[in-house]
Amino acid sequence: MKIKIKSYNDNWPYIFEDIKSKIRDNINKDNITIEHIGSTSVKNLASKPIIDILIGIKFQELDDYITPIKNLGFTYMKKYEKEIPNRRFFFLENDTKRIAHIHLVKINSQWYKRHIAFRDELRSNEVVKKEYEELKYTLEKKEWKDGNEYADAKTEFIKSIEKNLKID
């Protein structure tokens, strides 16, 4: 499997806002925060053209949100819960093209805090952003068994950045 990295697209924030609006209209908005994460959330950073959405919930159980998110057209993937039991994962496709991912976690979790901190570092640190982009273009040249293998190949870099961030 080849991973295709695309130049930054000014439409990515608008796609996120459209999906965020649909989520807010259909899910208890007093109990959630909705954040644009991943490379598509960082201006001028090349990325796989898939919008990553982080929903942090304050109360209730993660499973209480599965049906409402599925009702928005997202597919729920339970299989990742063995590795990450405190996250629920969903994806949205149009025909066979992946459009968006939703990562549903508790707002006070380390998973939530790490992803926000890494996104914010990419947004504010041009050197780190450039290094990350170069890594992604290097990895794009390889053949991958699946998208998870590609994601795993970025883990060492991400962890090296996270160790220097203040993550409560």
User: Which string of DSSP letters, residue by residue, matches 102-162?
Assistant: EEEEETTSHHHHHHHHHHHHHHH-HHHHHHHHHHHHHHHTS--SSHHHHHHHHHHHHHHHH
**Is residue 83, in this structure, part of any structural domain at all?**
yes
**Is residue 5, in this structure, part of any structural domain at all?**
no
**Is residue 123, in this structure, part of any structural domain at all?**
yes
Give the confidence band of 8 by pLDDT, cuts at 50, 70, 90: very high
The arithmetic mean of pLDDT across residues 138-166, rounded, is 93
**What's the confidence (pLDDT) of residue 81?**
93
Per residue in 21-79, pLDDT (tens digit) is: 999 999 877 889 999 999 999 999 999 999 999 999 998 899 999 999 999 999 999 99
**Is residue 138, in this structure, part of any structural domain at all?**
yes
Contact residues for 38 (Cβ-Cβ < 8 A; gap 6+):
47, 50, 51, 52, 101, 119
**Is residue 122, in this structure, part of any structural domain at all?**
yes
Per residue in 94-146, pLDDT (tens digit) is: 988 999 999 999 999 999 999 999 999 999 999 999 999 999 999 999 999 98
- Checking if the pLDDT of 168 tops 80, the result is no
**Is residue 3, in this structure, part of any structural domain at all?**
no
**What's the confidence (pLDDT) of residue 1?**
87
* Reported pTM: 0.94
Give the confidence band of 162 by pLDDT, cuts at 50, 70, 90: very high
**Is residue 2, in this structure, part of any structural domain at all?**
no
CATH for 54? 3.30.460.10
Residue 123, both tokens: 């947004």
- Number of domains forming the structure of the chain: 1
Give the confidence band of 17 by pLDDT, cuts at 50, 70, 90: very high
**What's the confidence (pLDDT) of residue 48?**
95
Q: The domain containing residue 50 runs over which residues?
A: 12-162
**What distance in Å separates the CA atoms of residue 5 and residue 159, rounded to the nearest whole number?**
21
**Is residue 6, in this structure, part of any structural domain at all?**
no
Q: Are 51 and 12 in contact (CB under 8 A)?
A: yes
